[in-house]
Amino acid sequence: MRTTACFGAALADPEGAMGPGLSLDGAHPNRDGYAAMHALAAKAR
């Protein structure tokens, strides 16, 4: 069985851009962005 997680949806604001505070450059996650991704991955296990 394969499990997938959509990190884009977890990090996106209503307009589809990376949410405020989750990136320094709007494209790459920062520490808080990776924490949000980790939380999603942990749920998918």
pLDDT of the chain, 45 residues: tens digit per residue: 888 889 998 899 999 999 999 999 989 999 999 999 999 999 887
Residue 10 tokens, joined: 């977890």
- At 9 the pLDDT is 87
- At 33 the pLDDT is 96
- At 10 the pLDDT is 87
Q: What is the pTM of this model?
A: 0.80
Distances (CA, A) of 28 to 1, 3, 8, 10, 37: 29, 23, 11, 14, 12
Name the residue ranges covered by the structural domains of the chain. 7-44
Of the candidates 1, 19, 29, the one whose C-alpha atom is nearest the C-alpha of residue 37 is: 29
